[in-house]
Chains A and B, each alone.
Chain A
């Protein structure tokens, strides 16, 4: 099946610094990528939908200036957590939408990035 990678898998940063997380579709072109945030034992919360070459669409309550999303190519989207604080510590997961295949499963998830802000 299609493969989506995320880098880094784990990152620890100091409060006030910025962190960039990359999401790549390795064997297909993804016109749409999604960024989720997940707290322990909780569901995935969609943060934003990222379309190649255009501005991301953020979900209500997600700060655009804090979570910068760039979808520069059909295989790469980045999430930058700016001026990170301990409350930004979380598990961040991206997914990429493959070309439609009869309406069935076409969204592939990356392995996630665990961010810890100290």
Chain B
């Protein structure tokens, strides 16, 4: 069974508008961490934002915010005021407590975002 699911293979957004990238996860571990990464065409993985399962507030990092709905097991990424440079592939990832010793991440399938001028 998929532990991390990103149901949107591709998304378009108009420049300066906000966009939400969906991510749902499946775990029975009460302690886990959720990550979002951006991968531009160059291939490097860029860390965007982190949410811990026990964090009371939704994480925010500049134009990025994470809409964490624990009961629904969703961790959607919201990008506000989209820029052309936001065009990239975006990955949601999870680290469970059981794998915290190694730091092993489980990645979703990814969503390709294209920002239109």
Contact = CB atoms under 8 A, between A and B. Distances in A.
A43 B91 contact: yes
Contacts of A107: 103, 105
Q: What size tier do the contact residues of chain A reach?
A: 20 to 34
In the complex, which of the residues A44, A57, A91 has the most CB atoms of chain B within 10 Å of its own CB atom?
A44
A67 interface: no
Contacts of A60: none
Contact of B110 (A42, A49, A93, A95): A42
Interface of B is mostly: loop
B91 A44 contact: yes
Nearest to A50: B102
A112 B109 contact: no
Contacts of A41: 89, 110, 112
In the complex, which of the residues A49, A105, A111 has the most CB atoms of chain B within 10 Å of its own CB atom?
A105
A44 to B, nearest CB: 5
Contacts of A34: 103-105
B112 A103 contact: no
A36 to B, nearest CB: 8
B68 interface: no
B30 to A, nearest CB: 14
A95 B47 CA distance: 12
Interface of B: 33, 35, 37, 42-45, 47, 50, 52, 89, 91, 100, 102-105, 107-110, 112
Interface of A: 32, 34, 41-44, 46, 49, 51, 57, 91, 93, 95, 97, 103-109, 111-112, 114
